[in-house]
Amino acid sequence: MGQLSLLNGNQVKTPMALLKIARMGHPVLRQRAAPVDDPTEESVRRLAVHMVETMDDAQGIGLAAPQVHVGRRLIVFEVPSDRLEEGEPPGPAGVTILVNPEFEPVGDAIALGIEGCLSIPDIRGVVPRHQTIIYRGVTPAGDRVEREATGLHARVVQHEIDHLDGILFPDRMTDLTTLCFESEIRHLLADAEESADD
Ligand code: NI
C-alpha cells in the first residue's frame, strides 16, 4: 500500500506545475517563436494550463510561452478589473489563452503606461503602446477569437505578442529615465501626476 491510500480518493489532487520563468538575458526570450500547427493538440492545452498556474503564482497578468522556455506562439493573460484606469472598459472575464495570436492597431492613438514583466523582476518602465487594437487567435478548444481591446487590455496583449517576436518591454521604451525599480515607483507616479496637472 502506498502513502496515497491514506488519503481519501477525492482529496488527492494533481500537483500544480509551476514552470521556471526565463529571465532577461536568456536567449529564448530573444528568439522568434514558431507557430503552433495544431492549436487543439493536447500538449498545447496542458502547457497553457501550466502557464496559467505559473502566471497566477507569480502574480502576473500575462505570460508568453518563450518565458517558460518554449518557443511556440502561445500566450495567456487576464485583465484584472482592479488595475484598470478610471473609465477604462473591462477586459474579458477570466483568463484568455490564445494560440498564434496577432493584432493590428485601430487608429493612431498611442498611450503611455507603466509595465513590468515576470522575466524582468522588480523593474518597471513607461512604455508607449497602441491605445486600441484588434487581436485574433485560436483557443486550445479550436475556437477563433477576434476582439477589439483598449487600454490595459490592449497593452497586455501587445506586451505578450512582443514576447513571441523576441521583444521585451525596455526595447519599446522611448524614455529610459522612467526605467526604475518597483520599490521606487512612487517617484514615477508622482511625476506622472504632476505632468497630468500641467
Ligand atoms: Ni513580459
123 backbone dihedrals φ, ψ, rounded to 5°? -110, 145
CA atoms of 72 and 171, how far apart (whole Å): 21
- Residue-wise pLDDT for 149-176, tens only, equals 999 999 999 999 999 999 999 999 999 9
| No. of helices (H) and no. of strands (E), the chain | 4, 8
pTM, two decimal places:
0.89
- Gap from CA of 2 to ligand 1 centroid (Å): 42
Residues around ion ligand 1, judged by CB within 5 A, are 117
Ligand 1 centroid to Cα of residue 75, in Å, is: 10
Note the pLDDT tens digit of each residue in 97-143. 999 999 999 999 999 999 999 999 999 999 999 999 999 999 999 99
Sequence-distant (6+) residues with CB within 8 A of 110 are 128, 129, 130, 131
Q: How far is ligand 1, taken at its centre, from the CA of residue 118, in Å?
A: 6
Q: What is the mean pLDDT of residues 29-43?
A: 97
Q: Which residues are catalytic?
A: 160
> Residue 139 has which C-alpha cell?
483557443
Tell me the three cell numbers of residue 144. Answer: 477563433
- Distance of CA 146 from the midpoint of ligand 1 (Å): 22
| Residue 3 Cα to ligand 1 middle (Å) | 40
Please provide the average confidence, as pLDDT, over all residues in the chain: 91
Residue 198 has pLDDT above 70, yes or no: no
Which DSSP letter does residue 72 get? B
- pLDDT category of residue 93 using cuts at 50, 70 and 90: confident
Cα–Cα distance between 198 and 194 in angstroms, integer? 7
Which residue bears the cell 493536447?
42
